[in-house]
Structure 1
């Protein structure tokens, strides 16, 4: 892994030679800003929404946002976004001429500020920040940041403040302008406004892979308890969880749903009274929609990635509990708040 990183850093240094920084002609008249978050994770897309709103509040500018090809629609409908630049890496590998066209189009615009949102060296994100035309480039410190960034802050130092992930990105701008402002919350905006599906009071999201997933046995026991008071429970799963969902009992009142889009997933979350989920992108959608959330964490990152909501939410530290203890904590929480 370290060797692979070294090779990427070496390639990046070669790119630096061809895209050397010119002396900045930066001034306080800001009209064009590029936010670079080449990523294919739901949460990482939502984490930049407070930064986008903060940019608009500070400069009255809607940002261009450079994103990955999978979940860009989460950003596409955001009112603080001017334009999304979709970096579809898989397509570019197969069709390199499209990559060249993408870079040439991007470089037609000279931005006043370019913001690299990755908190560590990432070849794609750093490369796109380097190649973009920007008078001032902001980001987090890494081994090569002094060679392509004009302003950077140490992410490890920020972590000592014990904030949520979305706050760290916003703080990058706040440190640059040297101001203390209230950081906006995450936001979710639908791209498909015509959704009209059934709704369910309690929605359980199976989760993803490994520690970001709920065990089928735990879900079965939880569903049986919920059905004692509820008529229906919706089980949400993705295309990679088909084997797991087959292990969930087909009880009367259990509805299993494989959403066909992120908007459809968001719809079921928004319409629910309670959303139960492990640490996944769906959790961050629920936070952005300000829902009642029961979040199960099988790692110790709950402070950094846990639910951010004014609703009746709880974080269950599943990594230190047996399934029976997790179940009892969920049921006790329901009894307390209902």
Structure 2
């Protein structure tokens, strides 16, 4: 009861803070008239700043298509990205990104960051947030780009250009395509663009030297939410399903915090199941690229697999809520070799998080063994 009351109170206070923040920061010092036609060409856009301070790895993977498509048509445009330490790894070697600015939560750090970016003088700022927090409003205001673009910002003074989600069920790439269309870039290539350093490749290549002609499976059972993580029982079922055929090896991946749990699982499988102990997301992405099959409930790994059109089994939940029918399309693999299977948790009440472990192992068996 106390927890429920606290949640109600926090929701109430959040709404008040956001209203106050909007009152404080929703203004723009110098507003320019937008020339019609091709936005980039007719408004002399020479630099674009992307705000990806949400820290989401999967979203940054998708965003790489925009960097490439802009540079492909307008190679002179400077591209900057505001990112967290984690998702900045995705673009650390991206030849289409000129500047990476690391976002930290503390207000003092945000003010310093905004001053630094303001000196670099960006023509266009693009924000992807559904809900702007107060510090993010402040950041956008202080950067003072010539033009600001955001999602559903028609009633904001801080934004010059607003874009909306497409109608009906759609894949997330359609949102990025819509933004590119607004910039004057039509018929873009919607494939993702992951680029690796030699250092990223080194550990994975050394690991794979020990693997002969075996079919390589990457199994990632973990996700950002515990409700989307595959439990030990199902991890073992998937491994045993994979190893029904000979000449296969499984790379069971997870963060360092999961190492003990992973090692306990794999000890009975001899050298057929390997914990690769990779150091960063780009090493993991390169292992995905070099493998034959990917199995995961995590959409970050889904998008990485999609970048290389790998054979993929993506495990999704059918939630007892209105959002799921959108989410299963919005974050789908979206390519022929990317297969979805669904966990149906009949015990979950409406609006509750459902358990991803209610999937049928026979569906995985059918895809990989038949």
- Equivalents in 2 of 1:31, 1:10: separation in Å? 34
- Equivalents in 2 of 1:181, 1:318: separation in Å? 35
Unaligned runs of 5+ in 2: 1-10, 35-41, 319-323, 347-355
Q: Which moved more, 1:52-61 or 1:326-335?
A: 52-61
Q: Which moved more, 1:44-53 or 1:124-133?
A: 124-133
Pick aligned residue for 2:360 from 293, 316, 326: 326
Give the match for residue 173 of structure 1: 180
Give the match for residue 341 of structure 2: 316
- Equivalents in 2 of 1:196, 1:259: separation in Å? 8
Change over 3 Å in CA distance of 1:75–1:294 after alignment to 2: same
Once the two structures are superposed, residues 296-326 of structure 1 have per-residue CA deviations (whole angstroms, 9 ceiling, x without a partner) of 002432211121345x221001236996862
Once the two structures are superposed, the pairs formed by residues 20-59 of structure 1 within 5 Å of their partners are 20-24=28-32, 27-59=42-74
Once the two structures are superposed, the pairs formed by residues 278-317 of structure 1 within 5 Å of their partners are 278-299=297-318, 300=324, 301-310=327-336, 312-317=337-342
**TM-score of the aligned structures, taking structure 1 as reference length:** 0.85
- Number of equivalenced pairs: 323
Q: Is the 8 A contact 2:200 2:283 kept in 1?
A: no
Give the match for residue 193 of structure 2: 187
- Equivalents in 2 of 1:55, 1:294: separation in Å? 31
Give the match for residue 24 of structure 2: 14
For residue 169 of structure 2, give the secondary structure of its aligned residue in structure 1: coil
- Equivalents in 1 of 2:141, 2:74: separation in Å? 23
Give the match for residue 272 of structure 1: 291
- Equivalents in 1 of 2:291, 2:12: separation in Å? 44
- The alpha-carbon deviation at position 124 of structure 1 amounts to 4.2
- Equivalents in 2 of 1:87, 1:171: separation in Å? 26
Q: Is the 8 A contact 2:217 2:291 kept in 1?
A: yes
Unaligned runs of 5+ in 1: none
- The alpha-carbon deviation at position 58 of structure 1 amounts to 4.4
Once the two structures are superposed, the pairs formed by residues 1-338 of structure 1 within 5 Å of their partners are 1-16=11-26, 20-24=28-32, 27-60=42-75, 61-89=77-105, 92=106, 96=108, 98-142=109-153, 146-155=156-165, 158=166, 160-177=167-184, 180-191=186-197, 192-197=199-204, 198-199=207-208, 201-208=216-223, 209-230=225-246, 231-242=248-259, 244-245=261-262, 248-250=265-267, 251-252=269-270, 253-299=272-318, 300=324, 301-310=327-336, 312-319=337-344, 326-336=360-370
Once the two structures are superposed, residues 68-125 of structure 1 have per-residue CA deviations (whole angstroms, 9 ceiling, x without a partner) of 2222121222222111111122xx46xx3x5443222111132221111223334444
What is the root-mean-square deviation in Å for CA atoms of aligned residues? Answer: 2.7
Change over 3 Å in CA distance of 1:335–1:229 after alignment to 2: closer
